[in-house]
Each structure stands twice: as structure tokens, then as C-alpha cells.
Amino acid sequence: MNKNEFLEALKNLNITPTEGQLKQLEEYYQLLVEWNEKINLTAITEEEQVYLKHFYDSLTVCKIIDLNNQSNLCDVGTGAGFPGIVLKIFYPNLKITLVDSLNKRIIFLDKVIKKLNLTGIETIHSRVEEFAKDNREKYDVAIARAVAPINILLEYCIPMIKENKYFVSMKGDISREINILDSSLNKISAKLIKIEEFNLPIENSKRTLLLISKDKKTNKKFPRKNSEIKKQPL
């Protein structure tokens, strides 16, 4: 996806980027390539692939939720900042928390935030299960992109969001997980609002967005001693 194709694809998402936002994406890309030589951030570094599989893909969340109507968001297992950094660029109204267990990635994200002059965004070096314990009922939206099986994500993310607010799971093909979704939701007083399935432009790889809301406060404990939150290939 070259930059002209990126702009055309954003039209289909009803997103019209400013020159400033496009410049921030360019700077983000340059930092990603530079730092990827030092630490393993992503296997995708070719510019057209980054614009498709990271930048555009991050913004497809608007297919399932209007982030203009939310106040804060937690990106769980953010990795190199997808989707959290991209969402902050395009939704400056959002206060965003980026959580990751690897401090080297947090250092990179702090450099990106400083370089792009982003405000209202923080990074947290923590395992997700530990962070979730101390941050219950805090967020309007928790989001996870290509992170862990759905039952594990629900266990950690649902307690973090406020009543009647949302968890968004961004995945590829979920055919292997869909059979455990209903039972997992019932255990934590949450409900599936919508599933959005689509293919990425150009390469036509499968994507699935799940919008899940929290019915009521949960006192769910966190029995897992070892984190199973980790990035998955899309």
C-alpha cells in the first residue's frame, strides 16, 4: 500500500488525515525502522507493508466503534505501538495508556511519543495481569491487537473497563476461537455486541473485529501466575 493507496483506503473509513498527521506517520515509520535494527519490534519493515499492515490496519477499529465518543483507552500488549500510537495520532481526544511487558519496547514508545509531540498518552511497563489487578473499572475502551486467545484477553481486559463500556479485540481469522467465545463471555458478565469481518485491501488477508461490552462490575480474580498475553501473527 503506497501512500496514495493509503489515503484512498482511509476515505473508505471516513478518515481525512491532516498534513500534520501524515507527517507524524512518516516520522513514526522512520523511528520504527531505525529502532528495529536494535530490538525486535516487528517483522514488517518495508514501507508499503507498514502502511497497510500496521497503520491502516490499526485504524480499521473505526469500523466497529466511534472513538470520538470515548474519553480514554488502554492498548493491551501494545508492542511497537499498534494500534495505540496510530489511534492517538488520529483521535487526539483520547487519553491513551500503552501497556507492554518488555521495557525495551517501552523505551522505544517513549521516543516515538516525544518525537511526535504527542500528549495525553502514557506508557506502562507491566505484565498485563499485574496491571489489570490495579486498574479495575478505569477505561472506556480496552483494545488488544493480535494478542493472545480470546478467553485470556477477556479475563484480563473486561475488569479494566467501566460498566457498559467496551473491549475491542482485533484479530485475523477467529474460526478456531469462536467456539469458546460464548462460554467465556458468560463467565465474566460480558456480551458480544458485534463482529466485523473484512479483508485488508490489496492482499485480502482476513481480519476480524469483536466489540464486547461489560454488563456489570466483576470481581473476577486473576488466577494465572504466568502471563499468556503475547503478540500473535495476523
Cell of 171: 484479530
CA dist 83 and 67 (Å) reads 13
CA distance readout (Å), 76 to 6, 51, 198, 207: 26, 21, 23, 18
The pTM assigned to this predicted structure is: 0.90
Length in residues, the chain? 234
Q: Which residue has the cell 483521535?
A: 91
Instruction: Please list the pLDDT of the chain residue by residue as tens digits (234 residues).
Output: 999 999 999 999 999 999 999 999 999 999 999 999 999 999 999 999 999 999 999 999 999 999 999 999 999 999 999 999 999 999 999 999 999 999 999 999 999 999 999 999 999 999 998 999 999 999 999 999 977 888 889 999 999 999 999 999 999 888 778 778 877 888 888 999 999 999 999 999 999 999 999 986 554 544 444 445 555 556
User: Residue 146: its pLDDT value, please?
Assistant: 78
Report the pLDDT value the prediction gives residue 148, as an integer from 0 to 100.
Answer: 81
Instruction: Provide the greatest CA pair distance for the chain.
Output: 48
Q: Contact at 8 Å (CB) between 194 and 211?
A: yes
Alpha carbon of 210 to those of 132, 146, 196, 203, 216: distances in Å?
20, 12, 7, 22, 19
The residue written with cell numbers 511519543 in the block is 113
Q: Report DSSP state, residue 201.
A: T
Q: Cα(104)–Cα(35) distance, rounded to whole angstroms?
A: 10
- Predicted local distance difference test score (pLDDT) of residue 230: 54
Exposure of 82 in the CB half-sphere (CA atoms within 13 A): 28
